[in-house]
Amino acid sequence: MKVNALLPLIEAENLTPGVDLDKEVLCGYSCDLLSWVMKNGQEGMAWVTVQTHMNVIAVAVLAEMACVILPEGIDMEPDVLKKAEEEGLCVMKTKLSSYEICGRMHKAGVADKDA
């Protein structure tokens, strides 16, 4: 599934209009502990997190993730979004919970990490 197909699936809004949404989502993950994500992050990952500071972008970019998903209507500061856009990383937000987001991605065939 491409990032642009993930947006409607989880009723999300793209917060980084300038970035390429044609990237392939290869797996999904949900975690808010950054070292844990560093350990498990993979290329093409769609990462659900409630963290919104600058290091979220650093972790996602280092792992070459496909996108960051903010659940439950959480917002991200403009300077952090600007950094994401500079790095070509898609950040999206949705009203859905992490549980519901992962459930929908799983049902749509997005794999677990290492799968």
Partner 1 sequence: MSMVHQVYPVAADDFTRAGEASADIKRRLKQLGVSSAVLRRVAVASYEVELNLVIHSDGGELTLNVDQDGVHLISKDVGPGIPDIDQAMREGYSTANEEARSMGFGAGMGLPNMKRNADQFAIESQVGKGTTIEMTFKLA
Ligand X SMILES: Nc1ncnc2c1ncn2[C@@H]1O[C@H](COP(=O)(O)OP(=O)(O)OP(=O)(O)O)[C@@H](O)[C@H]1O
**Pick from 2, 24, 39, 88: which binds partner 1 (CB under 8 A)?**
39
Q: Cα separation of 103 and 10, whole Å? A: 10
**Pick from 61, 100, 104, 113: which binds partner 1 (CB under 8 A)?**
61
**Pick from 8, 17, 35, 109: which binds ligand X (CB under 6 A)?**
35
Q: How many CB atoms lie within 10 A of CB 113?
A: 14
**CB nearer to partner 1: pick between 21 and 61:** 61
Nearest alpha carbon to residue 59 among 18, 12, 91: 91
Residue 30 binds: one of ligand X, partner 1, none (C-beta under 5 to 8 A by kind): none
| Cβ proximity of 104 and 71 under 8 Å | no
User: For residue 50, what is the DSSP state?
Assistant: S
Should residue 54 be labelled a site residue for partner 1 when binding is judged by CB under 8 A? yes
Least distance in angstroms from the C-beta of 9 to partner 1: 26
Least distance in angstroms from the C-beta of 78 to partner 1: 14
Nearest alpha carbon to residue 11 among 73, 66, 84, 83: 73
Should residue 40 be labelled a site residue for ligand X when binding is judged by CB under 6 A? no
User: For residue 59, what is the DSSP state?
Assistant: H
Which tokens is 46 given? 């769609």
For partner 1, the binding residues (CB under 8 A) are: 32-36, 38-39, 49, 51, 53-55, 58-59, 61-63
For ligand X, the binding residues (CB under 6 A) are: 34-35
